[in-house]
Amino acid sequence: MSDWIEYAERKPESAGAYRWRLPSTGTPGLFVTFVAHMRLRGAGHESVVSPSFDYWDGYRLLLPQGVQWQEVGGVTDVKWHGYGEVAVEGVEPCACPYCEKVPVLKGAKRYSDGTLSHGASPHEYSSWWLECCSWARTPQYKDPHDLVARRDDAIRPATPTTNWIKCSDKLPPIKQKVLVYRLGNKTNDGPFFAMTCGNEHRPWRWLDGDRCDITPTHWHEVPTPPTE
């Protein structure tokens, strides 16, 4: 992918689809990227080629601050007045557990009375949701970071974790019963149950409180017990 070009320094020379990057005005703090067209439009007495998310105030053609662009690089099915391939930097939803596709990030501008404007440019979006199969349309959120974090939490139980945590990275909360394992050069120990006691140098205890003479290298959360 090529580098971003400052629109204020150099504009695309011809009409057509381009990828845009600009700060969000609808959800301040985010950078939004999307595909939209440069198209010929009237601007006072003349016609100019300008991005579809421009704004004519009656005197001048205005664009949001900080617009950057690059070539789309390939074909796009984004319509002449549409917006496509909307993404928010730092927001990367994981694949849907039902259809195994990465869901599409959608958004709209929400007015103070709660109604949504679906024709707004993605940089104006103030309400966000994800769509893939009919099983997995999410509620709407003001910030897509929250949206993706909540969704990941919700779908995580569908994929059992088998991730052992290195004790050198992080210890479990004090007195939480966990499964531990010692990965050794010649022999391994475990897995067995243990807990930590908060002692900096010798943190591990057996479940009865006695000091554990094996130093685990890894630990794992105990699954929630069955209820039926």
Q: Which residues in this chain contact Zn ion in the complex, by CB under 5 A? A: 96, 98-99, 132-133, 136
Q: Which is nearer to Zn ion, 48 or 149 (CB)?
A: 149
Q: What are phi and psi of 178, to 5 degrees?
A: -135, 165
Sheet containing 165-166: order of strands: 165-166, 218-221, 178-182, 189-196, 204-205
Q: Which is nearer to Zn ion, 40 or 95 (CB)?
A: 95
Residue for token digits 């928010």?
A: 88
Number of neighbouring beta carbons within 10 Å of residue 68: 18
If we measure between CA atoms, which residue out of 159, 160, 162, 97 comes closest to residue 130? 97
Q: Which is nearer to Zn ion, 100 or 208 (CB)?
A: 100
**Residue 94 C-beta: closest distance to Zn ion, Å:** 11
**Residue 96 C-beta: closest distance to Zn ion, Å:** 3
Number of neighbouring beta carbons within 10 Å of residue 211: 11
225: left (phi over 0), alpha (psi -120 to 50) or beta: beta
**Residue 97 C-beta: closest distance to Zn ion, Å:** 8
**Residue 135 C-beta: closest distance to Zn ion, Å:** 6
**Residue 136 C-beta: closest distance to Zn ion, Å:** 4
Query: Is the peptide bond prior to 191 cis by the omega test (within 30 degrees of 0)?
Result: yes
Q: Which is nearer to Zn ion, 133 or 174 (CB)?
A: 133
Q: Which is nearer to Zn ion, 126 or 138 (CB)?
A: 138
